[in-house]
Chain A
Amino acid sequence: MKKESFVSIVDCSKEDILHLIQKAEFFEQHPNQRILEGKVCATLFFEPSTRTRLSFETAVNRLGGRIIGFSDAATTSSSKGETLKDTIKMVSNYVDVIIMRHYLEGAARYASEIANVPIINAGDGANQHPSQTMLDMYSIYKTQGTLDHLTVTMVGDLKYGRTVHSLLTGMSHFNPTFRFVAPEELRLPEIYKQFMDNRGICYSEHTDFSPEVINQSDILYMTRVQRERFTDLMEYEKVKNVYVLTNSMLAGSKDNLRILHPLPRVNEIARDVDDNPKAYYFEQAHNGVFARQAIICHVLKIP
C-alpha cells in the first residue's frame, strides 16, 4: 500500500476534506478509543509550539497510542549539525508515524520523501499548517451544518497569515464567497487572487472593518496584526486598533455568524466578545483534537 502523508492542504481533494470532517465528527462523539494500541507516534518539534504539540499528543493518547519525541530542537542532535534527513531516517525506524513541526519551509514535504512512515505536517515555517486548516474547516462545518456557499470574512494580516491562505485553499472546493479586510500593507497576495479568479470564486477586498461586511458574514475569521510585519511603524500605529472586533460591532450580524481565531489572540478580539454566543474560538481550539485524531487515522489507513 502506498504511504500516505499529510503535508499540505493543497494535496487534499474535496473528498479527502469531507472524509476527514466525517472522521472528526465520529471522534468527537467517541473521543476515547484503543485504535492506536501498540503504535508509537513521534512528535518532532524542531521549533517549539506547545499548543499544537499538546493537541496532537492528546489526540494520540486518547486513541491509546504511545509517544516519543522532542519539543525543541535545542535538545536534539540537529543542533549539533545533523541534517534533517538523518534525523528523519533514524526516527522513522522506530515509529509508525511522525508528526513534525519545523522552522524551514518545505521541511515536511522533504521528510515525507525520505521517511518510510507517514509524515504529518504540524507546521513548516510560513508555509503550511494543514491540521490547523482541518480544525478550522471542521469548526465551520459544525457551526454552519455545511461547508457549501458560505460567506467567509477574513480580517487582519492576510499577507503573511498562513492560516488564512490555507483556509482559503481548503474552502475553495465549496463555492465560498470571501471578504478580505486588511490594512494596505497586509493585503492578500496577488497569487491567491489569481487562484480565486481561475476558480471563479467571488471575493472582495476592504480596508474598512465595517458593520456592512460583518453583517453579510457567516464566518468571521480574525487574525493577529503584528507590529513586526510593518515596514512603516507609523502605518502600524494608524491601523493597530482598526482591525479589532468589539461586541457592539456584532449588533446587526447574522444569527448563524461564528467568530473564529487560530489563537493565540492579542487584542484583535476585545474581551467583551468572549461572552457572546457567536464567539467560537475556544471551542474551535478544542475541535483540534478531533481533527488531529482524524488525520492520524487517515495517514495510518485505519478505517
Chain B
Amino acid sequence: MEQKELQVAALKNGTVIDHIPTEQLFKVVSLLGVQQLTTQVTIGYGLDSKKMGKKGILKIADKFFEQDEINRISLIAPSVKLNIIRDYEVVEKQLVYLPDELLGLVKCNNPKCITNNEPMRTRFKVIDKEKITLQCHYCEMKTKKEEIVLL
C-alpha cells in the first residue's frame, strides 16, 4: 500500500518527500542541499498524482531532516509530506511549517536595503502566516507572497 503510494522503488532507510509541486522540484533539491549529500538520491519528476495532476518526489537514502532544515522549503512547497522510512516501513510522517523567521532564504526587494549592499545574511519576520507576508528585519519593508524572491 505504502509502496504503491510512493510510486518509486522501496527505500530501506531514509526520507521520501512526496507531493512536491513539479515546477518547484529542483528548487527544493537545491534548498535542501541534496547535491552535497553522499548517499543515494532518486529524483522523480512529473509523476502522475490524483491530487495534483503532476508531482515531484524525492527519495533520499540514510538522511533524516531536522525540522529547521525542512522548514526551508515551506515557502515554495508548503503542503509536502515527508515519509520517514526505517527498515522499509513508514514509521513517521513529517510536515513542513512556515517558521517565524527566515534566515538567508529570501532576497529583500528593496534595492536600498543594507542586505543588498553588504555581504550579509538576509533576515525576515513572517508577520502573517496565513497570507504569507514577510517583513525585512533590517529595512522594515513588507513583502507579499506573490513578491517573494528566493536567494
Contacts and interface: CB of A to CB of B under 8 A. Distances in A.
B119 A106 contact: no
Contacts, number: 50
B118 A105 contact: no
A109 B138 contact: yes
A282 to B, nearest CB: 31
Given A83-B119, A85-B120, A110 B114 contact: yes
A301 B46 CA distance: 61
B140 A127 contact: yes
A47 B110 CA distance: 19
Interface string B108-134: 001011110111100000000000000
A8 B120 CA distance: 20
A105 B120 contact: no
Interface residues on A, range: 10 to 19
Contacts of B120: 85, 110
B contacts with A: majority SS = loop
Contact of B140 (A84, A106, A110): A106
B137 interface: yes
A126 to B, nearest CB: 7
B112 A105 contact: yes
B137 A105 contact: no
A104 B112 contact: yes
A110 B120 CA distance: 9
Interface of A: 8, 10, 83-85, 102-107, 109-110, 124-128, 191
Given A107-B138, A109-B114, 15 more contacts: A8-B140, A104-B114, A104-B117, A105-B112, A105-B114, A105-B140, A105-B141, A106-B140, A109-B137, A109-B138, A110-B114, A110-B138, A124-B114, A124-B139, A128-B140
